[in-house]
């Protein structure tokens, strides 16, 4: 007789504060893991971009070259380059090791809110308050974008890129997905300004947060509303949402100083983690481990599961 398989244990959630790092770059506008989760980037209101090892709390390099606040950044798949954008209307590509500007793209008519590399870091895609998404060729010397997507009727607040599509959220209340293989545009009306969008890890769903303090999980292909998550505070700020490394839970920052975790399937609120008294401006979830980065005011925090032990604990 075969014994039944043991019931799988509940997925652990990051709720133990491991490090809190004062970034010394004004307000931290965004925090981002690199591709393998070993390093992170912080975007500062003092015009600087910083590279950290968040697991040790150490600063590795500072990148100066923006003329105003840095609002978003991303690393390339091979960790050799960074891209960043900001209130100076520019998109900048950096050499990670040298700390120098490789390219600076000017073309947006207003501040640039979000930036991403494509899969092989040959194209940088940026979204701006000017309602456009622009695609820039990293390899050519041409100063103008190779493509402009201007379907949004208001500012583009957030974008994510997969191997063949661009997902964007706009203040006009629409979540748009550009399928670059098929040359198709899919749009879903959420009804409130969208502050953040992301893909699920399995690539089947899109998660969007909006200023009606609601997160919505949409079926990417049909636009069907699969889940709705509420309970946090989001009426004024551009807050971020993400999913855990195995798509089991949905996360959002909140204006009440907490990170909220919901069960993806049930839609129930399962955890609130108190970060501080300010607004949880930015979130980044580790690509493969139970590990969360948060940004509040001038500092970032690294969270792990309760059973996690560091060298300091032993």
In a domain, 101, yes or no: yes
DSSP per position, 22-33:
E--SSSEEEEEE
- Quick check: 51 and 58 in contact, CB under 8 A? no
162-182 residue pLDDT tens? 999 999 999 999 999 999 999
DSSP 286: -
Q: What is the pLDDT of residue 146?
A: 95
Confidence class for position 282, pLDDT limits 50, 70, 90: very high
Confidence class for position 4, pLDDT limits 50, 70, 90: low
Mean pLDDT over 80-107 rounds to: 97
Mean pLDDT over 91-104 rounds to: 96
In a domain, 269, yes or no: no
Confidence class for position 308, pLDDT limits 50, 70, 90: confident
Q: What is the pLDDT of residue 136?
A: 97
In a domain, 257, yes or no: no
Mean pLDDT over 35-58 rounds to: 97
Please list, residue by residue across 219-255, b when 16 or more beta carbons sit within 10 angstroms of its beta carbon and e when fewer do. Answer: ebeeeeebbebeebbbeeebbbbbbbbebbbbbbbbb
In a domain, 74, yes or no: yes
Angstrom distance (rounded) from CA 162 to CA 218: 16
Can you say whether residue 110 is alpha, beta or left, with left for phi > 0 and alpha for psi between -120 and 50 degrees?
Answer: beta
Q: What is the pLDDT of residue 42?
A: 98
| Domain encompassing residue 117 | 27-32+39-238
Give pTM, 2 decimals: 0.93
In a domain, 256, yes or no: no
Task: Please give the mean pLDDT across all residues of the chain.
Answer: 94
209-268 residue pLDDT tens? 999 999 999 999 999 999 999 999 888 889 999 999 999 999 999 999 999 999 999 999
Mean pLDDT over 264-279 rounds to: 95
Q: What is the pLDDT of residue 314?
A: 46
- pLDDT exceeding 90 applies to what percent of the chain? 90
- pLDDT exceeding 70 applies to what percent of the chain? 96
Please tell me the least confidently modeled range out of 36-45, 159-168, 303-312: 303-312
β 58-64/48-53 pair status? antiparallel
How many C-beta neighbours within 10 Å does residue 83 have?
A: 26
Number of separate domains in the chain? 1
Identify the CATH number of the domain in which residue 190 sits: 2.130.10.10
User: Count of residues for the chain?
Assistant: 314
Please list, residue by residue across 284-305, b when 16 or more beta carbons sit within 10 angstroms of its beta carbon and e when fewer do. Answer: bbbeeebbbbbbbbbbbbbbbe
In a domain, 249, yes or no: no
Query: Of all residues in the chain, what percent are helix, strand and coil, respectively (each to 5)?
Result: 0, 50, 50
Confidence class for position 158, pLDDT limits 50, 70, 90: very high
Confidence class for position 311, pLDDT limits 50, 70, 90: low
In a domain, 258, yes or no: no
* Cα-to-chain-centroid distance, residue 200: 12
Angstrom distance (rounded) from CA 213 to CA 308: 31
190-200 residue pLDDT tens? 999 999 999 99
In a domain, 170, yes or no: yes
Long-range CB pairs of 244-250, under 8 A, 24+ apart, other chains included: 244/11, 244/13, 244/285, 244/290, 245/201, 245/285, 245/286, 245/287, 245/288, 245/289, 245/290, 246/11, 246/201, 247/200, 247/201, 247/202, 248/11, 249/11, 249/13, 250/207, 250/215, 250/217
Confidence class for position 118, pLDDT limits 50, 70, 90: very high
Q: What is the pLDDT of residue 235?
A: 86
DSSP 229: E
Q: Is the pLDDT of residue 9 over 70?
A: no
């Amino acid at each position: 007789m075969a014994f039944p398989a043991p019931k799988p244990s509940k997925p652990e959630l990051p709720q133990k504060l491991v490090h809190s790092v004062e970034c010394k770059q004004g307000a931290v506008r965004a925090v981002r893991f690199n591709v393998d989760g070993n390093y992170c980037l912080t975007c500062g209101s003092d015009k600087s971009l910083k590279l950290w090892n968040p697991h040790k709390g150490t600063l590795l390099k500072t990148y100066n070259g923006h003329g105003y606040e840095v609002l978003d950044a991303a690393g390339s798949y091979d960790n050799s380059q960074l891209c960043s954008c900001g209130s100076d209307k520019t998109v900048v590509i950096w050499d990670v090791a040298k700390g120098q500007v490789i390219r600076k793209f000017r073309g947006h008519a207003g501040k640039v809110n979000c930036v991403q590399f494509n899969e092989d870091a040959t194209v940088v895609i940026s979204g701006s308050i000017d309602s456009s998404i622009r695609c820039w060729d990293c390899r050519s010397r041409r100063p103008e974008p190779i493509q402009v997507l201007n379907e949004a009727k208001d500012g583009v607040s957030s974008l994510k890129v997969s191997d063949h599509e661009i997902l964007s959220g706009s203040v006009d209340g629409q979540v748009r997905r550009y399928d670059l293989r098929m040359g198709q545009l899919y749009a879903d009306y959420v009804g409130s300004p969208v502050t953040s969008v992301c893909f699920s890890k399995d690539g089947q769903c899109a998660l969007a947060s909006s200023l009606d303090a609601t997160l919505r999980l949409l079926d990417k292909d049909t636009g069907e509303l699969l889940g709705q998550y509420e309970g946090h505070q989001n009426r004024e700020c551009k807050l971020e949402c993400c999913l855990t490394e195995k798509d089991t839970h949905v996360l959002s920052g909140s204006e009440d100083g907490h990170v909220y975790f919901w069960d993806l399937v049930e839609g129930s609120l399962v955890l609130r983690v108190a970060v501080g008294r300010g607004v949880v401006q930015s979130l980044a979830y580790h690509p493969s481990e139970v590990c969360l980065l948060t940004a509040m005011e001038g500092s970032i925090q690294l969270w792990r599961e309760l059973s996690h032990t560091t060298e300091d604990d032993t």
